[in-house]
Amino acid sequence: MPVPPADAASCPLGTHLARALDDVDAGLCVGYSGGPDSTALLHALAALPRARALGLRALHVDHGLAPDSRQWAQACRTLARRLEVPLEVVRVDVARDAGDGLEAAARDARYRALGAALHEGERLVVAHHRDDQAETFLLRALRASGPDGLRGMRTLRPLGRGLLWRPLLDLSRATLADYVRAHALPVVEDPANADLRHDRSRLRGEVMPSLAARWPHVAAAFARSAALCAEAADLLEREDAAALARAQGLDPATLHVHALAAQPAPRRARLLRRWVAGLGLPPLPAVGIDAIERELLPAPADALPAFAWRDVRILRWGGLLHAGTARAPLPADLDLAWEARGRLALPGGGWLDVEPVAGATPGTGEPLRLRVHARRGGERIRLPGRAHSHALKHVLQDLGVPPWERTRLPLVSSLDGELLAAGDLVVSARMRDLLDARALRLVWQN
């Protein structure tokens, strides 16, 4: 059987996929585990000329968790070769001590590997079906999820440089099983799928059959509920996006407290989670929502309350919430010699540098011999156009530099002890003249 027979394209699975491909104009890559569902998907797609024209290929992830995993990978290679579909096997290491359990760790490792292997704009096609969607809905309901979680799996979402595509969410597991039997396809049976210690396996092996015995359409009902939750979640997300745009500061990592407080509490919780997620930070835990409500929002303007989780924190300063990675202050005894001829690395990350001014005529002059040190308090600086010096503390306050950023701020002084700059935020009159004479500018990366 070098390629699937013609009738594979005319069965319910084949016709469903043919319709789904009508609107697709991107490369296709099947996530192929060797199990019954992904085997049916790959075989049916291989029977469609349209899929082959889109560059049909397959990826298999070997987690290395089972003794037979290499044999499973070889079985996948064998069928892919018979179907004349290119197959790549990707091996991953799964963190066995992950906090969310081995099942979740394996899933995360799998999708990271699949996403990294996708080509630009390519679709990773996976065989999740209606019964999978029903199980996902029930699992999340048991974890007390709201509409965002109960929406279940999306048909299409970003993954790596392409998209994750689930075209079979309207089909049942039985439809795929019938296809496998009809074509006598060889499949890999992972014993972990029958291990009732795993939540999904227990749902699939015991809970769903029990429910189906009383309510035969339970899978379709749960999947429909997931679709309704998805509709509600989409409406909420559109409103969230508009509210967040009104509350967010010029710096995306800030939120205006008054705009946030004007929203009802459930909306505030959604906005905070969306804000944190949009910054690429770890998910904000429920205790974080409570802490922000109880301690940060009602805090006086001169306080500096914070909530921290993992290596991230949200702080209230003045009328804004600030979110970001927690960074240690510069060492109090930091004192470095710098000739300003190249990048100077700073403790804890970040650097100072001088760069040529774009379009300017290269300047002249001796190399700058400078000292770079941490703040110690009491520093004063003379700004361009000013006759007298000013306290650096007041200058930074006027610029709105948050207190925790000031602790990371490298100061630049001359060898005779005059303060010349604070990062690249504050540059003295003397430093400006020194830089202008050399057609340079000071750059600080925190």
- DSSP per-residue string spanning 171-222: S-HHHHHHHHHHTT------GGGG-TTSHHHHIIIIIHHHHHHH-TTHHHHH
Distance CA 185, CA 182 (A): 8
Report DSSP state, residue 127. -
Annotated binding site for ATP: 33-38
Report DSSP state, residue 444. E
Distances, alpha carbon 199 to alpha carbons 78, 103, 150, 224, in Å: 32, 9, 16, 22
Structure tokens at 375: 């703040």
Which helix or strand (DSSP H or E) is residue 223 part of?
A: helix 218-247
CB 419 within 8 A of CB 379: yes
Report DSSP state, residue 331. P
What is the number of alpha carbons within 13 Å of residue 302 lying toward its C-beta? 0
Distance CA 349, CA 352 (A): 11
Annotated binding site: 33-38
CB 364 within 8 A of CB 402: no
The overall longest dimension of the chain from CA atoms, in Å, is 90
**For the chain, the helix, strand and coil percentages under 3-state DSSP, each to the nearest 5:** 45, 20, 40
Query: At CB < 8 A and 24+ separation, what contacts does 36-39 make?
Result: 36/176, 36/177, 36/180, 36/185, 36/187, 37/127, 37/128, 37/129, 37/168, 37/173, 37/176, 38/126, 38/127, 39/79, 39/180, 39/185, 39/186, 39/187
Structure tokens at 209: 């059959």
